[in-house]
Structure 1
Amino acid sequence: MKTERPATPQSIVVEEAPKLDFKDAMTYGDYLQLDAVLNAQKPLSPDHNEMLFIIQHQTSELWMKLMLHELRAAIAKVAADELGGAFKMLARVSRIMEQLVHAWDVLATMTPPEYSAIRPYLANSSGFQSAQYRCIEFALGNKNAAMLKPHAHRADLLAQVQAAYEAPSLYDEALRLLARRGLPVPASHTQRDWTQPYQESAEVEQAWLVVYRDTERYFDLYQLGEELTDLEDAFRLWRFRHVTTVERVIGFKRGTGGTGGVSYLRKMLDTVLFPEIWKLRTDL
């Protein structure tokens, strides 16, 4: 008589108890420097809602730090004709901007009376003075010499912003790449003073049209054009959500940094970073 043997499991997973003793070992908090990060919130007012205001802007600055890390690397990749790596980085920048768009939803829970309670404690401090944001704008090509002045009081910050101001932007490097590939980008747009605001060019649009009319031949350049489109699309949404949140919270009061507030922010909505990329859609 045959004896049936019990079935043997294919695999047995043995769960180990989690480590609970971290004496003399690096911990999660150690790695992330959480003591410094979580103790960096120093409200100046007695109002409960100031914590929201501080954390909103601190987390935005952290996301912008990552955005600059990716943008600078992407610009270097485009300059070196390494588009695969650049595409990954630019896609990440667009996703970071999406995070920043949604962050405004949290700040929008602050009502006008709640903001009015903390506003006197802000003095002249304003997001207008963010050196990281200014570096992002300069890296994306929105150059304006006047925007160096808010950072003149800090030599270290001024040096960072000045470097971004004087360097070729992402779009400048994209156009230089098109020229290296034999496309008819004029020298006025590949050998220019990088500190000057970008000027739209019919010749540049024609170069992009060559790419978009023969996407199989120029597929990586076509993909670059679409990555730039995604990036500007996300940036526009970020700026628009900023405007609507500020208007919701403070109306048309002047900004704490001396700007016109909503009126100033609305003017920024008219800025187009990569004009030929958008215009060609009409002309295709």
Structure 2
Amino acid sequence: MSCPHHQPDSRGEAIVRDEGAQLDFSSSMSYGDYLQLDAILNAQKPLSPDHNEMLFIVQHQTSELWMKLMLHELQAAIRHIATDDLPSAFKMLARVSKIMEQLVHAWDVLATMTPPEYSAIRPYLAASSGFQSWQYRCIEFSLGNKNAAMLRPHEHRPDLLATVEAAWRAPSLYDEALRLMARRGIAVPTSHTERDWTQPYQASEGVEQAWLTAYRQPQAHWDIYQLGEELTDLEDAFRLWRFRHVTTVERVIGFKRGTGGTGGVSYLRKMLDTVLFPEIWSLRTSL
């Protein structure tokens, strides 16, 4: 009598045959075709002979891909707020916060690069700098951190300059949030609903009182209250991203000047003090 454990499993063999038959993709679009993997995986072109440059390139390329998705979601959320479609905007803003978490953890990988490893590739970077990331600048402008000087790094590319300048001239996420509040009948100073959108945002006691109206009566102003918390989540994640950026840079290059001529760590530390949605944070003291 044969051992039952060694008897052929006809059902299992049939499953294997069926799965094998499904592995012929010759007549359809492939996974790599759909994702354009040939272009993506061949976009890493190290300039130095150093092994660690691949990490540096992949880190920044993947960050740019996440920023592409972030801009896609952020700009759509701004449009939805402008048209009073808050449920859609909430979903998108929540996704932006999660994308920011991915960018925060990406610094953990770059932090494995030691100072001697970075020094080996630094001469090959020339004057290229993160300041030239037009996507990051559009994110900053869309979040309200407007600074006309930050248009200059993109002057060498008129097409990119036009895109960045459009974000600089447009109302930010916070601007549209305040305009929404005014449309909903909450008193917001006109100085903050009708202004030059290219100018840096200035905190206002009147705006804080507007937010306090929603936070003191959340059931009566639930959408506004929830919007305030979505903005809080987003800025919380953005602060963490900035903090991990500065600590990683300090860990890898110390206090050397950046490749683009900036102060490096000293400049990044100043950015830690930037508050995007000031009244969202200050109101908490008054509650």
TM-score of the superposed pair, with normalisation by structure 2: 0.93
- In structure 1, the partner of 2:109 is 106
Q: 2: CA distance between counterparts of 1:131 and 1:258?
A: 17
The 3-state SS of whatever aligns with 2:19 is coil
User: Which residue matches 1:59?
Assistant: 62
SS in 1 for 2:268: helix
> Is 2:176 the partner of 1:170?
no
1:133-190 Cα shifts (integer Å, max 9, x gaps): 0000000000000000000000111011000000000000000000001111011000
Quote how far apart the aligned CAs of 1:54 are.
0.1
In 1, Cα distance between the equivalents of 2:25 and 2:85?
43
In the TM superposition, residue 208 of structure 1 has moved relative to its aligned partner by 0.4
SS of residue in 2 equivalent to 1:23: coil
Aligned length: 271
Following superposition, the deviation at residue 39 of structure 1 comes to 0.1
Question: Residue type matched to 1:244 in 2?
Answer: T
Q: Report the CA distance between 1:102 and its aligned residue.
A: 0.3
- The alpha-carbon deviation at position 221 of structure 1 amounts to 0.6
Structure 1 letter corresponding to 2:192: H
Asked if residue 139 in structure 1 is aligned to residue 108 in structure 2, the reply is: no
Alignment-derived partner of residue 187 in structure 2: 184
- Specify every segment of 5 or more residues in structure 1 that has no aligned partner in the other structure, as ranges: 1-13
Deviation track 1:84-117 (CA, whole Å, cap 9, x = no partner) reads 0000000000000000000000000000000000
Q: 2:19 aligns with which of 17, 21, 32?
A: 17
Match of 1:266 among 257, 269, 273: 269
Distance (Å, rounded) in 2 between the aligned partners of 1:213 and 1:102 = 35
Shift of 1:255: 0.1
- Residue type at the aligned position of 1:44: L
Residue number among 129, 137, 157 corresponding to 1:154 in the alignment: 157
CA distance in 1, matches of 2:34, 2:200: 41
Letter in 2 for 1:240: F
Distance 1:179 1:220 in 2: 13
> Quick one: distance in 2 between partners of 1:81 and 1:62?
29
The letter for the 1-side match of 2:274 is T
User: Structure 2 CA distance, aligned partners of 1:169 and 1:260?
Assistant: 28
Residue 126 (structure 1) shift: 1.0
**Which residue of 29, 33, 40 maps to 1:30?**
33
List alignment gaps of at least 5 residues for structure 2: 1-13
Matches within 5 A, 1:224-243: 224-243=227-246
Question: Once the 2 structures are TM-superposed, how far is the Cα of residue 266 of structure 1 from its aligned partner?
Answer: 0.4
Q: Which of 255, 259, 272 is the aligned partner of 1:252?
A: 255
Tell me which residue corresponds to 2:43.
Answer: 40
When the two chains are superposed, the root-mean-square deviation of aligned CA atoms in Å is: 0.8
Alignment-derived partner of residue 72 in structure 1: 75
Shift of 1:20: 2.2
> How far has the Cα of 1:21 moved from its partner?
2.1
Map Cα deviations across residues 181-214 of structure 1 (whole Å, 9 max, x no partner): 1111011000100000001000000000000000
Query: Residue 25 of structure 1: CA displacement?
Result: 1.6
- The correspondence for 1:89, drawn from 77, 92, 101, is 92
Aligned to 2:6: none
TM-score, length-normalised on structure 1? 0.94
Q: 1:201 aligns with which of 201, 204, 211?
A: 204
TM-superposed CA distance for 1:128, in Å, is: 1.6
SS in 2 for 1:101: helix
**Residue 22 (structure 1) shift:** 2.2
Secondary structure, counterpart of 1:81 in structure 2: coil
Distance, in Å, in 1 between the alignment partners of 2:24 and 2:43 is 28
> What is the rounded CA distance, in whole Å, between the counterparts of 1:78 and 1:21 in structure 2?
46
Q: Give the corresponding residue for 1:122.
A: 125
The answer to which structure has the higher helix fraction is 2
Q: 2 CA distance for matches of 1:133 and 1:24?
A: 40
1:118 is paired with a residue whose SS is helix
**Map of 1:8 onto structure 2:** none
